Chain A
Amino acid sequence: MTYPEPEVIEYVNDHFVPWNINTADEVDLIQRFDIFSTPSIVFMDPKGRDFYRSIGYLPPTRFIGRLIFGEAWVAFRTRHYEHAGDLFEIVGREHPDCSIAPEAIFFRGAARDKITGDHSNRAISAAELKERFPKSNWTFSASVWIED
């Protein structure tokens, strides 16, 4: 079980408004959110806009990384770029075994460049991806950001 872990409980309570939906009872919500597999976690902003989803069970250490990543996506999509960059940074640095670590490094650069208005942070992300995750698709996507 993932949620009984104290680290997960603390992170969820501190960083989110947690909403439990029992799929056996909430047919309307399942249809409205187009839930096709459980467990599914939908990360939304305070207006209820759906910005990121995580499907399937993860062990606690990897689940924390996914929680931070979902939080980062909500921050990014609501234009809180500094916060998003910091959260993507944590995922890339502290959760390297999570499958989304390369994606987090990719979007860390994108978020920080939204603040600076240039491409310098994307180039830093691209170089880091090339060194740490040379076979990731995100590394290939970021390769266009590396100046010759």
Chain B
Amino acid sequence: MAVTTGIHWLTDESTVLDAALQTQKPVLADFRNPN
């Protein structure tokens, strides 16, 4: 599915890992300083 409206970021660790287990996709964890 092509998505051009933005990345579907998650912010909660347990939600991320649940989604990864369900989809069997790897996790891309982006550590970024917004300042």
Q: Which residue of the partner chain B has the closest CB to A12?
A: B7
Please give the distance in Å from A65's CB to the nearest CB on chain B: 14
A-B contact count (CB 8 A): 124
Count of residues in A whose CB is under 8 Å from the partner chain: 38
**Can you give 19 A-B contacts (C-beta < 8 A)?**
A10-B4, A13-B7, A16-B28, A17-B10, A17-B23, A17-B25, A18-B9, A19-B16, A19-B29, A20-B10, A41-B28, A42-B29, A45-B27, A46-B20, A46-B21, A46-B24, A48-B17, A48-B27, A74-B26
Taking A20-B32, A44-B20, A46-B25 as given, write out 6 further A-B residue pairs in contact, using a Cβ cutoff of 8 Å, ordered by the A residue number. A9-B3, A19-B10, A19-B29, A21-B11, A29-B13, A33-B29
